[in-house]
């Protein structure tokens, strides 16, 4: 009986080439699947923030939307609420300070390199840390202390509104109330080839492509005019 010979060098090279081709076909699909999972998680995070805001408004806002966290003392070492400067990040973080959403992971998009160090950079007791919120504490933008006035003037043409005004009763369901943070880097892809997730007042989220919104500068402009980082 003849002893069976092993693979020849050519056969081994053919097998390696086939494996490389299959890997080249599968890896992009796996990468897309991972990013899709991250996008779903980001959307779920924003939806949780919307529910937390609804609870906050029912308890402290008398069903009026204040982008300024009402009932909280001011930050920066003073007791005056008007002394604080609440941007979109602070408005979202106020849900953490009031323990309505105590999970620090909700504030981080898994597609973003941001890290709030398990809540250490978010602050507590109604205020950011002494140095303020860092750029990596919250991966999302929201309505800041001047946002409602901007919305009323730009979107609704109303006058006589101030930075601490509120949207009274008629919450606009198709108006954005939050989105991915447009401070670099872009959460999902790149400026010329990516997307961002936008949260609306009725709690639904949408994925907007780079052809619809500037992924690096969209906050405070265009359709996202009332949002702030």
Q: Does residue 152 have a pLDDT over 60?
A: yes
Per-residue confidence at 82, pLDDT binned at 50, 70, 90? low
For the ranges 22-26, 44-48, 200-204, the one whose mean pLDDT is highest = 44-48
For residue 226, which of 169, 170, 174 has the smallest C-alpha distance?
174
| Mean pLDDT of the 104-133 span | 87
The SS3 assignment for 91 reads: helix
Q: Give the per-residue pLDDT at 12.
A: 79
Per-residue confidence at 171, pLDDT binned at 50, 70, 90? low
Percent of the chain with pLDDT over 70: 85
Q: Give the per-residue pLDDT at 77.
A: 46
Domain boundaries, the chain: 9-228
The two three-digit tokens of residue 229, written as one number? 């980082």
Which has more confidence, 144 or 38?
A: 38
Which has more confidence, 141 or 32?
A: 141
Q: Does residue 191 have a pLDDT over 70?
A: yes
The average confidence (pLDDT) of the chain is 82
Give the C-alpha separation, 137 to 134, whole Å. 5
Give the C-alpha separation, 112 to 186, whole Å. 8
| Mean pLDDT of the 136-146 span | 89
Give the C-alpha separation, 9 to 138, whole Å. 55
Give helix 9-56 / helix 88-97 axis angle, nearest 10°.
Answer: 80
Q: Does residue 157 have a pLDDT over 90?
A: no
Q: Give the per-residue pLDDT at 68.
A: 67
Q: Give the per-residue pLDDT at 41.
A: 94
| Mean pLDDT of the 128-136 span | 80
Q: Give the per-residue pLDDT at 65.
A: 75
Specify whether the CB–CB gap between 49 and 197 falls below 8 A.
no
**What stretch of H or E contains 21?**
helix 9-56
Lowest mean pLDDT among 51-60, 103-112, 210-219: 51-60
Tokens 């980001």 label which residue?
Answer: 42
Cis peptide before 185 (omega within 30 of 0): yes
Per-residue confidence at 84, pLDDT binned at 50, 70, 90? low
């Amino acid at each position: 009986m003849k002893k069976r010979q092993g693979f020849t060098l050519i056969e081994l090279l053919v097998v390696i080439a086939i494996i490389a081709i299959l890997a080249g076909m599968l890896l992009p699909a796996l990468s897309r699947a991972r990013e899709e999972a991250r996008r779903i998680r980001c959307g779920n995070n924003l939806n949780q923030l919307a529910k937390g805001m609804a609870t906050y408004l029912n308890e402290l806002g008398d069903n009026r939307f204040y982008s300024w966290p009402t009932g909280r003392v001011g930050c920066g070492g003073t007791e005056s609420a008007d002394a604080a400067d609440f941007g979109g990040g602070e408005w979202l973080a106020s849900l953490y300070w009031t323990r309505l959403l105590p999970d620090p992971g909700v504030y981080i998009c898994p597609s973003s390199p941001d890290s709030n160090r398990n809540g250490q950079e978010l602050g507590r007791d109604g205020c950011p840390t002494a140095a303020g919120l860092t750029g990596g504490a919250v991966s999302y933008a929201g309505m800041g202390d001047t946002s409602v006035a901007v919305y009323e003037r730009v979107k609704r043409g109303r006058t006589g509104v101030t930075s601490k005004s509120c949207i009274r009763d008629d919450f606009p369901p198709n108006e954005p109330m939050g989105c991915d943070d447009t401070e670099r880097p872009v959460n999902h892809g790149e400026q010329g080839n990516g997307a961002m997730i936008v949260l609306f007042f009725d709690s639904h989220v949408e994925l907007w492509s780079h052809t619809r919104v500037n992924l690096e500068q969209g906050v405070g402009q265009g359709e996202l005019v009332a949002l702030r980082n």
